[in-house]
Structure 1
Amino acid sequence: MSIPDINVNLEDGGLGVVPPNSTGLHVKIGVAAAGPESEIIAISGPSSAKQFGKGPLVRALSDAFAEGTSNMYVIRATADIDGTVSAVEKTGTGTGSVSVSGKPTDEIQVELQIVTSGGLNQATFTLAIDGQAPTAPITVPITGSYELPDSGLTITFTPAGDTPENSFKANDKYAFSATAPQMSTTSLVNALDLVLESEYPYEFIHIVGPSTPAVWTLFDSKLAAVQEDGKFVFGICETRDINKGETIDQYVKAMLDQAANFSSILVSVVTSGISKADFLNGKEDERNPAGIIVGRVAQIPVHRSAGRVLDGALSATELRPAGIKKAHIIALDNARYTTVRRYDGIQGIYCTNFRMMAPTGSDYLYGERTRVMLKAARLVRAAALLQEQNEIPFDDATGNIDFTPMENLLTAALNPMLNAEEITKARVVIKPEQNILAGEPMKAVIRITPRGAYRDMELEIGFENPFGGAN
């Protein structure tokens, strides 16, 4: 017999608190010139991107910041494929030569112009980098070697042996370019495994830099595999840029060929290009639009199209590659790529459609559909997980298993999406005749109705005469 007392039991779950919200949080995987390598780094604001120096990863961060994103995770992958340096193109009459060597830390375009004629330690030159204004004149070093700052490249001036004073003539020009280093498939897999096996909350992964259908297929298989462990995330990739000497029609045809044999409801691939001012350093250059599209996706609700005009134009100034036309964009959109476009009558550049590379007829042709379904999957799994190995309730009146509490639990798990108007309806059905006492899994059918979006409209306009009726 116990002594008299007041017993208070603490009940949990009455407030309907939902699991931590990962909506919009994403991971960027790419190469950069500095910073911790092969680690998951939390980024909050533009200042924290400075630790990575420069490179494709930093540009992608800049683009996300430009769209208003502030919180991300970053993995600086191992850059185990060196960038390439082009041949130097000379215009002028000087008898000397200029060459470039080294491993580029990032893509770069350089125009070197001789200002004062002469040889080593006499001639002067300016540098125009990535289309920016030329530098102040620099004296050709007596050693003949000039390290291009923060580029990994060394410019070597070789004078003419017989007449060194004629080596470099005023107005001579030397132009060259370099590509950024890249990560190999092995490096990418290591980074993907690192983030997919982590406990960090995130909604999607952005692989920064050009990739091929082989990478998209690998990415898709990785994302599908982790669903077995309850991780419901999607991915965004980028295509290559247009090659030097390749026409816009050849480029679009190559992209269509790449898309022809790939499909995935978990992978979006962004193609074509933009020109924009870098958010971090102000330099205008060309790049894949994935960075700004990812930034937009991270800022909007899961059910909303990244192409919604009401959300404003993207932070870009021009469409690229040069010469791209509406017909090209339509072809790429029909091939299930995510692209950017202009509208006649309004200023700015907008996302055409946030596409998934889903097969024809799929429910997941658009990224917002995939986002909605993956969020719903995360919510119902989190709710059901709390009932794992819990006792099965019975109906005292009939002696049968009572699935009503489980139906109510799974339905309530989707209430946050209903309340936020991310979906319009949700229902859960659990058939009563299941023999779970014999060890069979309980099967619940969950159906949600998504929100719609205006995509194509037909507007009929004409005159009418209010006085034209019969007398």
Structure 2
Amino acid sequence: MNDVIEYLIDGTSGLAPGDVSGSAVIVGVCSKGTVGKAYLLGKRSDLTERLGTGPLVDRLRDVFATGGQEPTVIAVPVEGLPGGYIGNVGHTGSGPDAAVSGVAGANADAVVQIVVAGQLGTATYKLSLDGGETWGNATATPANGQIILGESGAVLTLAEGAHVENDAYAVTVRGPIGPVKRIGAGPTITVTGTVKAGAEVVLLVTGAGGRNVGTYQLSEDGGDNWGPVRTIPVDGAIPVSSTGVTVTVPDEDLTLGTEYHCRLNAPVPSITAVMGALETPLALYDPEFVYIVGPSDAVDWAACGVRADELWNQHRPTYIKTEFRLPYDGEDLNDWVAAWKTERARYSHRFVQSIAAFGEVSDSTGLRRLRNWGGLQCGRVLSIPVHRATGRVSDGPVSQGTLPDGWVENGIHEALEDAGAVSAKMYAGLSGVYWGDSRTLAEPTSDYRYEEILRVVFKAVRLARIAALKSMYDEAGDPALEGNASGLAYLKGSIENALDTMTKATPREMVGYVVAIPSGQDIVNNGVGVEQTLIGVPIIRKIKLFSNFTYAGSNFDPRLKEVA
């Protein structure tokens, strides 16, 4: 039947879908929420109501403080393990080395000292659990070299060989609740409970006396901020806000001006728990990157690399940000940097980052706590276009954070950044702290050592793939006849249209590109090969100022040469 027949022609609007830049999945430990559930959050979200307290909530506050006006954040709670750690063995002397293992259950500043030299089983040792202030009796070394370090949960294993008299092996063990240190006179207090969030608890005695008489102030950030003056409760139990612990004052008089300090080590996730918690969120959402809250090492980075490779193979280019641990008690910045570099030497991957920068951070609660700066860096990334370096000075300093003493003077940043960590630094003449290069854990020979390159390439790859899909099962045309390969021309044009969104963005995310479909391809058997060269915006990473001096009117006055 003759009539007017209508057809809809799709794919001519110029739309280029596929961009996921500016979105992140952030996974970590918190006291509320369902493990493995994805929570969509914005700057107005009530984090305490939805997720409670804990490392995840702390980092989310940092993200929203630096993430611009509309960051896209998906938070995922993960089950946590008790915080705490067993430090590395510090060996003083020339005898065989030792290793440590176990679980950090109780605090100890353990020192094993060789008393009588000899082989294992013959040599004797003495043990101190308080850093050498008191010692146990000399005991024969076990034949297997395994020495149990009190009730700490740690085991020191001496290596075979001739052990030397007075050699010492020191190990620091910290449980979730660190030791209580008293500054001043008075009785000993106790701290108990299940730690929900890290804190540096300080109790200051503001009025002498016992229960229901004496007064105190409490700080959760090492004394930077103080709560109101309160009377010691009748039962002596003082809850420490949302940290999950309680300070108990004995039924004795406290001394005016005495301070009690205790560090709470935040709960930490295992990498297996993290990967399990991410399964459903990553099946539902497609972020630009994943940020894992909590300390990590080379083993964890390897698991992240495997996951990033899986996502790449699923046509979902995604990179993963991780954190490094804070320094242990008794560990200076040099030891801490050496620990990071030891882990770095064990692993490389171009789609994984390790954020090492740390220091005190002021957040929206008014507290100022020591923590990793991963949340601050993540927020900066979400607030800038994909081609921009996080360290761009004109974007301003990291105003929320303060670097530890000795960071700038001792070249900590340079040592970390050169090896591939994400770090922060200060410039002479400026008073703020600024991000350095946002490095990945790629090998030095890789093109993808910098985060901004990953972001540009991943965005371009996503856009180009979606654009190319429109040509699947289309007719290629006749490549042998010039101008008759309409299908190939449409494929090339679709990809170019998608990449134009980056070259025509304000500001430009790429300088340009070249899309080429080489001639002579066996399309029937091999498909179509498309080559795309992405031309990035150069980043100024170093500036050299060359200055010279001359007198006005002399033969070297450049102005006279211009006149001539």
TM-score (norm 2): 0.76
Secondary structure in structure 1 of the residue aligned to 2:46:
helix
Q: Is the 1:104–1:152 contact (alpha carbons within 8 Å) kept by the matching residues of 2?
A: yes
Could you say if the C-alpha distance between residues 158 and 48 of structure 1 is closer, same or farther in structure 2, counting changes exceeding 3 Å? closer
Match of 1:365 among 409, 426, 449: 449
Does structure 1 retain, via aligned residues, the 8 Å contact 2:20–2:286?
Answer: yes
**SS at 2:62 equivalent:** helix
The answer to whether residue 354 in structure 2 is matched with residue 245 in structure 1 is no
Offset, 1:92: 4.4
Aligned to 1:163: none
Matches of 2:325 and 2:428, distance apart in 1:
28
> Is the partner of 2:342 in helix, strand or coil?
helix
- Alignment-derived partner of residue 311 in structure 1: 395
The change in CA–CA distance for 1:444 and 1:28 in structure 2 (over 3 A counts) is same
Distance change in 2, residues 1:135/1:408 (3 Å): closer
Which stretches in structure 1 are left out of the alignment for 5+ residues?
A: 160-165
In the alignment, structure 1 residue 265 sits paired with structure 2 residue 266 = no
In 2, are the aligned partners of 1:423 and 1:449 still within 8 Å (CA)?
yes
**SS of equivalent to 1:13:** coil
| Alignment correspondent of 1:108 | 199
Secondary structure of 1:268's aligned partner: strand
Distance 1:182 1:261 in 2: 22
The residue that corresponds to 1:127 in the other structure is 218
Alpha-carbon contact 2:271-2:303 (below 8 Å) kept: no
In structure 2, do the counterparts of structure 1 residues 115 and 466 end up closer, same or farther at CA, with 3 Å as the change threshold? closer
> Which residue identity does 1:174 align to in structure 2?
Y
Structure 1 residue 388 and structure 2 residue 386: aligned?
A: no
CA contact (8 A) 1:66 1:315 kept: no
SS at match of 1:414: helix
Aligned-pair identity in percent equals 27
Give the corresponding residue for 1:153: 245
Alpha-carbon deviation of 1:43?
A: 0.7
**Does the CA contact (< 8 Å) of 1:401 and 1:432 recur in 2?**
no
- Cα distance in 1 between the residues matched to 2:225 and 2:390: 35
Cα contact 1:52–1:58 (8 A) shared by 2? yes
Cα distance in 1, alignment partners of residues 210 and 181 from structure 2? 19
2:227 partner SS: coil
Closer, same or farther: CA 448–336 of 1 in aligned 2, 3 Å? same
Aligned residue pair count: 459
* Cα distance in 2 between the residues matched to 1:155 and 1:331: 40
Residues 46-97 of structure 1: CA deviation (Å, up to 9, x unaligned): 4332322222112211112221434311111122345600122234444x43
CA distance in 1: counterparts of 2:178 and 2:236, whole angstroms: 20
Change in Cα spacing, 1:6 to 1:442, as seen in structure 2 (3 Å) is same
Q: What is residue 356 of structure 1 aligned with on the other side? A: 440
Partner AA of 2:323 in structure 1? E
Name the CA distance, whole Å, in 1 between partners of 2:258 and 2:551: 72
Offset at 1:317? 4.4
Distance 1:206 1:133, change over 3 A: closer
Instruction: Confirm whether residue 14 of structure 1 aligns to residue 12 of structure 2.
Output: yes
Q: Take 1:236 and 1:220, find their aligned partners in 2: how far apart are those partners?
A: 10
- Is 1:431 the counterpart of 2:431? The answer is no
Looking at structure 1, the residues matched to 360 and 237 of structure 2 have their Cα atoms a distance apart, in angstroms, of 33
Alignment-mate amino acid for residue 193 of structure 1: E
CA, structure 1 residues 233+369, in 2 after alignment: closer, same or farther (shift >3 Å)? Answer: same
- CA contact under 8 A between 1:54 and 1:105: conserved in structure 2? yes
Distance 1:31 1:304 in 2: 30
**1:26-60 residue CA offsets vs partner (Å, 9 max, x unmatched):** 11111122234321111111433232222211221
Mapped pair 1:336 → 2:428: no
Aligned counterparts of 1:355 and 1:301: Cα–Cα separation in 2 = 17
Matched with 1:168 is 254
Shift of 1:289: 1.9
Q: Which residue of 2 aligns with 1:220?
A: 305
Q: Alignment partner of 1:202: what SS?
A: coil
Residue 446 of structure 2 aligns to a residue whose secondary structure is coil
One-letter amino acid of the counterpart of residue 263, structure 1: S
Distance 2:490 2:414 in 1: 49
**Matched residue, 2:365:** 281
- What is the match of residue 60 of structure 1? 59
Instruction: Assess, with a 3 A threshold, how the Cα gap between structure 1 residues 431 and 66 changes in structure 2: closer, same or farther.
Output: same
Unmatched segments (≥5 aa) in structure 2: 85-175
How far residue 374 of structure 1 moved from its aligned partner, in angstroms, is: 0.5
Query: Residue 442 in 1 paired to residue 442 in 2?
Result: no
On the 8 A contact 1:97/1:167 being kept in 2, the answer is no
CA distance 1:327–1:147, shift in 2 (3 Å): closer
Give the Cα separation in 2 of the matches to 1:410 and 1:436. 18
- Cα–Cα, structure 1 residues 459 and 400, in superposed 2: closer, same or farther, change >3 Å? closer
Q: Distance in 2 between matches of 1:349 and 1:26?
A: 24
The range that moved more, 112-121 or 189-198, is 112-121
Matched, 1:296 2:296: no
1: distance between equivalents of 2:36 and 2:9? 43
Per the TM alignment, residue 103 of structure 1 is displaced from its structure 2 partner at its CA by 0.7
SS in 1 for 2:491: helix
CA 1:140–1:15 in 2, change beyond 3 Å: closer, same or farther? same
- 3-state secondary structure, aligned to 1:154: strand
TM-aligned CA deviation for residue 388 of structure 1: 2.6
CA RMSD of aligned residues (A): 2.5
